[in-house]
Structure 1
Amino acid sequence: MQNLNALNLSHNLLTGSNNLQGPLPVPPLGTVNYLASNNSLTGEIPSWICNLNILESLVLSHNNLSGLLPQCLGNFSDELSVLDLQGNNFFGTIPNTFFKESRLGVIDLSHNLFEGRIPRSLINCSKLEFLGLGNYQISDTFPSWLGTLPKLNVLILRSNIFYGVIEEPRTGCGFSKLRIIDLSNNRFSGNLPSKSFLCWNAMKIVNASELRYLQDVLSSYGQVTNNVLSTYD
């Protein structure tokens, strides 16, 4: 399969010799899209993932994968635009290795067992539109620094251990493109900053013909759309 550039094993009930209940199948090095969501795959993400240096989409959501994420995650491919690992049993901290000029537009790590803080290197992902970090054990203050990401549309932080006061923006507004934010089921205190709501103009209905919803935000990212929508719509 030397010329294979896409491997899609999602949504299967394969049995016998093709049973998708074991470790991740090894794809050819030229694979561009690796999609294996909604199976019963187990084990850790193996080290060979770091060799897929032209990969554009890595979608392993809704499996039984576990272990630590490899340190190369976020910097092994200059082409990676979709990273969807939601609905597994990954633990530990999220690697702080997202590199400058990253093409990542969708990162969804929700519904895992991660701990620690949000990796500050996410600030390098200037093309990021969707960030899903809900439903695990992040312990951190509100990540106001994410407000500098120029294209961030959706920010999911629900069901974690975020704490403290969400402070008023000191300079400017931040989150200029934000349309959806979920902070529910955390430990924030104090009042919600009124200035933020006044500033978040992308949430306001100005011209109904220009409205964009979650489907539109993710439509350019292909196969990952249905997985994300099923969780957040």
Structure 2
Amino acid sequence: MTAEALAAAVRVVLVDDQELVRTGLRLVVDSQHDMTVVGEAGNGAAALQLLSGVHADVVVMDVRMPVMDGIEATAHLTGGVLNGSTPKVLVLTTFEEEEEAFAALRAGASGFLLKNGTPEDLLSAVRVIASGDAIVAPRITKRLLDRFAPQFTASAVPDRRLSDLTSREHEVVLLIARGLSNLEIGDRLGVAEATVKSHVRRILTKLALRDRVQIVVLAYESGLVRPHR
């Protein structure tokens, strides 16, 4: 990879307590011309130490690890405590770890990917998260929230930031929370996909949120959307 290509590439850090898993992930990521692995760590604490000196765009994070798990590490990373740097987090999980994946989303992860996915799934997810254009597997994320949202919707508290949204932006938030993509939202509202993207950018700015996953979580936590509603 040339110096110019390296400068433009998505910088990825891999965090997993199994070295063999990290090796496989590195081979997949480094095979691409538009992304590169800039570091690895075997637990969340080691990842925080690494990222205090290494800039990354996306952190591929396992959930269950010794010393510090992926949930706690995600909360630290998305809190912007590392020299003002806020890498985006892609959580690796299994069906058996859905509860941990949900906790990671609430901690600020930009999405999650099932470990039994394909290399193409991983590469697509890294690109999507790096671009900030959409969440990973929106309907899977919606299913996850529907399963665990009852844990906090019973005590939901309306968020005053939502009152700053226009009626159209409010509609877009509801459709995002229900798992629709930008294209599907555009079809539903009768507008171009580019128009939906503009709405999403304004919503993120008004609500002071980082990405679409945070919009979904806020919609549930505020009671705007309830499971199976």
Identify the TM-score tier after normalising by the shorter chain.
Answer: 0.3 to 0.5
Higher RCO structure (Cα 8 Å, ≥6 apart):
2
Higher strand share: 1
Higher helix share: 2
Q: TM-score with structure 1 length normalisation?
A: 0.32
Q: TM-score with structure 2 length normalisation?
A: 0.32
